[in-house]
Amino acid sequence: MLYTPQPLYLDVTDHGWWSFHHARGALKVNFWRPSATAFRALVPGQNILFKLKAPHNRIAGGGTFVGYTQMRLTEAWRQYGQMSGFETLEEMRAQLGKPGDPDPLMGCKLLEGCHFYDRADWQPCPESFSGNIVSGKTYREGDLDGQALNAEFEARRSAHLRRRALSLPSVDPLRDVLIEWDEQRRYGGESITRARLGQGAFRASVLNAYEGRCAVTGEHTDPVLQAAHIKPYAEEGEHSLRNALLLRSDFHTLFDQGYVTVTPDYRLEVSARLRDHFNNGVRYEERRGKPLAVPGRVELRPDVKLLRWHNEKVFLG
């Protein structure tokens, strides 16, 4: 198995959350936190391992980080439901422990490719993980403890996904998904940015890549931010960061309808037809030619080939 050292985050969770997902063999989970503080320890494609709270104090599985977003409890339940580790919204609300706020803001780390170890396979924590840590710890590329944990998890997960895939009928679509996902990790290919993410995972990964701000306006009010596909999903566009922009809802609508586009050098272009069709649009035309705020990492930015496709096929030039 090809293994490339990378950062790892050892996070803390409770036995009830682990037990809920272990019983269901969950592959995708919402690893939520009652606080909505920023999480920048990882980028999509890196791993989070689950360390159980006392009295267990053992590592009980992990998954691959897709993205982080802040949202209200009701929105988190609407998007993720039982992926959050509860049968009902009321159970989750009770666990949050904020009786004075019926819809508190929370932080959600979305994970895919999860593997929950059987109890007999739990691992002890390394000595470098202090018993005083209550949230989590980042292990960088040079941290030997973290690399050992990461390599062990990758090997265990690979074997688990392969066994699970082979136990399914050949016509079950999940079989192909599991095999493809395992091979992407095994051979070092792109994973999260190529994987067939669900809509909730897609939005979370885009929000995280753009640090929760509209690429055009800088708006950071979560309810009006939308993950826009450059090439629509209905036309075989992927749920991937290379096929995405984080846009305020009005710009998303205009982008989908071809009244605005993004040039390959990441600048906004506005169609003259916006004014012609609606006898308005000055506030949008004022942004023509302005550069977008795209992710700093090249592999998280929109694919210029897809932007050219939108310019040629969708934009009302």
* 291 beta partners: 267
Of 173 and 218, the one with more pLDDT:
218
Of 100 and 103, the one with more pLDDT:
103
- Percent pLDDT > 70 in the chain is 91
Between CA 139 and CA 51 the distance in angstroms is: 14
Contact 182, 189 (CB under 8 A): no
Give the pLDDT score at 5.
52
Give the pLDDT score at 231.
92
- Does 275 have pLDDT greater than 70? yes
- Range among 10-14, 127-131, 137-141 with highest mean pLDDT value: 10-14
Give the pLDDT score at 3.
41
Give the pLDDT score at 243.
92
In angstroms, the Cα distances linking 91 to 111, 135, 136, 218, 256 are: 21, 22, 24, 36, 38
Per-residue b/e over 132-171, b at no fewer than 16 CB within 10 Å?
Answer: eeeebbebeeebebbbebbeebbebbbebbeebbeeeeee
Give the pLDDT score at 53.
92
287-310 per-position pLDDT tens digit? 999 999 999 888 889 999 999 999
Give the pLDDT score at 269.
96
Q: What is the DSSP letter of 150?
A: H
Query: What is the dihedral sign for C-alpha 89, 91, 93, 95?
Result: negative
SS3 call for 168: coil
Residue of 10, 127, 16 lying closest to 61 (CA atoms): 10
Q: What pTM was computed for the model?
A: 0.65
SS3 call for 146: helix
Q: How many residues does the chain have?
A: 317
Neighbours of 195 (CB within 10 A): 24
Between CA 269 and CA 290 the distance in angstroms is: 8
Of 100 and 316, the one with more pLDDT:
316
What value does the mean pLDDT take over residues 223-235?
A: 87
Give the pLDDT score at 312.
95
169-181 per-position pLDDT tens digit? 877 777 776 777 6
Backbone angles phi, psi at 8, to 5 degrees: -140, 145
Q: Go through the domains of the chain in sequence order and give each one's CATH number.
A: 8-186 (2.30.130.30), 210-313 (no CATH)
139-155 per-position pLDDT tens digit? 988 889 999 999 999 99
Give the pLDDT score at 178.
74
Of the listed ranges 61-65, 278-282, 310-314, the one predicted with least confidence: 278-282
Between CA 70 and CA 104 the distance in angstroms is: 10
Between CA 143 and CA 120 the distance in angstroms is: 26
Residue of 159, 168, 205 lying closest to 186 (CA atoms): 159
Between CA 263 and CA 289 the distance in angstroms is: 9
Give the pLDDT score at 185.
63
What value does the mean pLDDT take over residues 72-81?
A: 87
The tokens for 223 are 């309810």
- Does 19 have pLDDT greater than 70? yes
Give the pLDDT score at 115.
95
Residue of 89, 40, 45 lying closest to 68 (CA atoms): 40
What value does the mean pLDDT take over residues 51-61?
A: 94
Question: Long-range contacts made by residues 142-148, C-beta under 8 angstroms, separation at least 24?
Answer: 143/8, 146/7, 146/8, 146/10, 147/5, 147/8
Of the listed ranges 5-14, 191-200, 264-273, the one predicted with least confidence: 191-200
Give the pLDDT band (50/70/90) at residue 131. confident
What value does the mean pLDDT take over residues 56-79?
A: 89
- Cα torsion at 214, 217, 219, 222 (round to 10°)? -30
- Does 42 have pLDDT greater than 90? no
Give the pLDDT score at 114.
93
- Does 194 have pLDDT greater than 50? no
* 71 beta partners: 106
SS3 call for 272: coil
Of 61 and 212, the one with more pLDDT:
61
Between CA 32 and CA 117 the distance in angstroms is: 19
Give the pLDDT score at 209.
84
212: left (phi over 0), alpha (psi -120 to 50) or beta: left
Mean pLDDT of the chain: 86
- Does 193 have pLDDT greater than 50? no
Place of tokens 């990790």: 185
